[in-house]
Amino acid sequence: MNAKRSQFRTIIRDVGSIQLLIGPILLIPGLVSMLYGETYSAFSFGISSVITTLFGGIAYQINKKAESNGQSQAMMTAAAAWMVTSFFGALPFFIAAHITPVEVAQSFVPAGETYSSSLYNFKSFLHALFESVSSYTTTGLTMSVHEPSVGYGLLFYRSFAQWLGGAGMIVLSLAILRHSSGMHGLALYNVEASGQKIRPNVRQTTQAIWKVYLTVTSFSALYIFVGTWMVFPDYNLLQNLFEAVNHAMTGQSTGGFSTFDDSISGYGSYAMEMIYLLPMLLGAISIPLYYKIYEKGSLKELWLDYQGRWLILLNIVGSTVLIIMLMSSFSFSQSFREGIFQFISALTTTGWQTADLNTWPVYATLLMASIPMIIGGSTGATVGGIKIFRAYFMAKGFTWKLKKVIQPSSSIISVKLGTDRYPYKEVSDDLMEAYVYSMLYFVVLLGGIIISAMFMGENFQLIDAIFESVSAQGTVGLSSGLTSPSMHPVTEITYIIQMLVGRLELIPILIMLRSFFKHSKI
């Protein structure tokens, strides 16, 4: 019992320390609100910051002498941290919705539009929580029906939360917080960063990750800013800067939130859609691979890396197949324009959207839901899905199993992964782990689809439930239209769970639930 109490105290301490970091960070979007004269939004961020910091300080101070106990506890900490952060992350939406006067909220609505401000949607705490979870898990499904009508501060906050969530709040804390060193720090890092070390110790590795992450994000912001200026020379510079920074953050995090009503199609420009392909691809590349490219000084490393190579090949082949499918209903130019953007958005799990998927043939929508949104991008990147590594690993596993059956029992089978070879016995456990994880992933996904189908409205079909559930669990954010403030609360809660499962890769949540039910008295 004492051991369990100690474990619980350690989890509370670590979660509290993360909130100590997140609390002050909430003041940054508050400053953006102040810059745009959004006083009520700024106040909501200030109050949220104080509440979050107080919780973190109390939780940490009371339990600061708790001991750390390895990988299982680290996984429970990761699961608890994402849930608690998402809870406190909902406060700015919820508070702003309740304290902002009607006339102020309506002033956020662009001139000439007649709809009501989407800020009102967040008067429901469930909607605010959904938006927060979607932000921090980098999913991109939203309760903001009309994004510009929530104000600049909250728009920036959504993007900023996705950017933080992309590289992992826990990885961020490991780079800074003092107590997260040694084996417990390594365990937490392995949960959040898939164990890929690019520096001798955890702290240096996480700091290096953030340097790469910030560098690529800055490049994307400059790239989008210049690209927009070249396509639209008369575009307002301050608006261009705001959009470039927001989209760079949501692109690098593969989160996919946009400052527009209709995502990237809001530009109404084919050229802009092509410009936005690069930030999505950059976000889907493994961060350790960026480091390798930098050290070697050659882009050839992208092709030599098996995840990088398959990311390129899957996008080329998948986009081509999707374009061909769409040509049965649309012209070649429309099929090319919609197919290439949507497929890359799905495989990278970014979720930016330029097409009305309800007008697509069912088989084209099924292709999107069955392959790119489930596979996702590279391990070590900010993407969702089961990841290219697992898909590649499991596909190779069939070949290795066949060789093992065909060849004499005395023969030694070596396994090639990328440029390295390993004895089969060394990777057999990892292969089984990949199969088990994928099986559990599909079990949860099937449950989400069934619940979604049971509670969807009359205007939707089974394909919509399948697509939306796959999108939520893959942290993609592409939508068939099912996600909205009018959706059934049961479906909304289901998607919240699926988003968390997709971001945490399921195992930490299962360990936490097992511990909770096994030791309900702590």
Give bridge partners of residue 417 from the DSSP assignment: 420
- Domain boundary residue among 163, 193, 223? 193
> Which residue, of 193, 209, 229, is where some domain finishes?
193
Do 468 and 495 form a contact (C-beta atoms < 8 A)?
Answer: yes
The 10 Å Cβ neighbour count of residue 111 is 4
- Domain annotation covers residue 281: no
Contacts of residue 234, Cβ cutoff 8 Å, sequence gap at least 6: none
Question: Nearest-5° angle of CA 126, CA 132, CA 137?
Answer: 125
Contacts of 117 (CB under 8 A, 6+ apart): 105, 106, 108, 109, 146, 149, 150
* Helix, strand, or coil (residue 135): helix
Question: What is the domain range of residue 490?
Answer: 388-518
- With a CB cutoff of 8 Å and minimum separation 6, the contacts of 361 are 325, 326, 328, 329
Amino acid in position 375? I
pTM: 0.90
CB atoms within 10 A of CB 411: 9
- Report if residue 157 sits inside a domain: yes
Indicate the number of domains in the chain.
Answer: 2
Q: What is the longest distance spanned by two Cα atoms in the chain?
A: 79
pLDDT per residue, tens digit, the chain (522 aa), is 466 677 788 889 989 999 999 999 999 999 999 999 999 999 999 999 999 999 999 999 998 877 766 666 777 888 888 999 999 999 999 999 999 999 999 999 988 888 999 999 999 999 999 999 999 999 999 999 899 999 999 999 999 999 999 887 546 544 444 444 444 444 444 544 444 555 656 677 777 888 889 999 999 999 999 999 999 999 999 999 999 999 999 999 999 999 999 999 999 999 999 999 999 999 999 888 888 888 888 889 899 888 899 999 999 999 999 999 999 999 999 999 999 999 999 999 999 999 999 999 999 999 998 899 999 988 878 888 898 888 888 887 777 777 777 766 656 666 666 666 767 666 777 788 888 889 999 999 999 999 999 999 888 999 999 999 999 999 999 999 999 999 999 999 999 999 999 988 777 777 666 665 565 544
Rounded distance between C-alpha atoms, residue 486 and residue 130, angstroms: 13
Segments in 233-377 forming alpha helices (H): 237-252, 270-275, 277-283, 287-296, 300-304, 306-326, 332-347, 362-370, 372-375
Q: Which residues of 460-479 are buried (b: 16+ CB within 10 A; e: fewer)?
A: beebbbbbbbbbbbbbbbbb
CA distances from 236 to 111, 162, 324 (A): 16, 25, 38
- In the listed set 193, 214, 229, which residue is the last one of a domain according to the structure? 193
Residue 55: both structure tokens together: 């919780």
Q: What is the CATH number of the domain that holds 394?
A: 1.10.287
- Give the separation between CA 483 and CA 140, rounded to whole angstroms: 11
Identity of the residue numbered 437: Y
Whole-angstrom distance, CA of residue 318 vs CA of residue 371: 9
Residue where the block lists tokens 């089961």: 386
Q: Is residue 7 assigned to a domain?
A: yes
Burial of 313 (0-12, 13-18, 19+ CB in 10 A): exposed
Q: Is residue 185 part of a domain?
A: yes
β-strand pairing of 420-423 with 414-417: antiparallel
Which residue(s) pair with 415 in the sheet?
422
Place of tokens 């043939």: 361
Is 365 contained in some domain? no
pLDDT reported for residue 67? 73
H/E segment holding residue 5: helix 2-25
Instruction: Scan for tokens 């110790």, then name that residue.
Output: 201
Asked, for residue 368, whether it belongs to a domain, the answer is no
Residue 55: partners with Cβ closer than 8 Å, 6 or more residues away: 16, 19, 23, 88
Tokens at 194, concatenated: 């898939």
Q: What is the distance between the alpha carbons of residues 519 and 522, in angstroms, rounded to a whole number?
A: 6
Q: Tell me if 300 is assigned to some domain.
A: no
| 310 within domain boundaries | no
- Closest Cα partner for 131 from 139, 119, 121, 143? 143
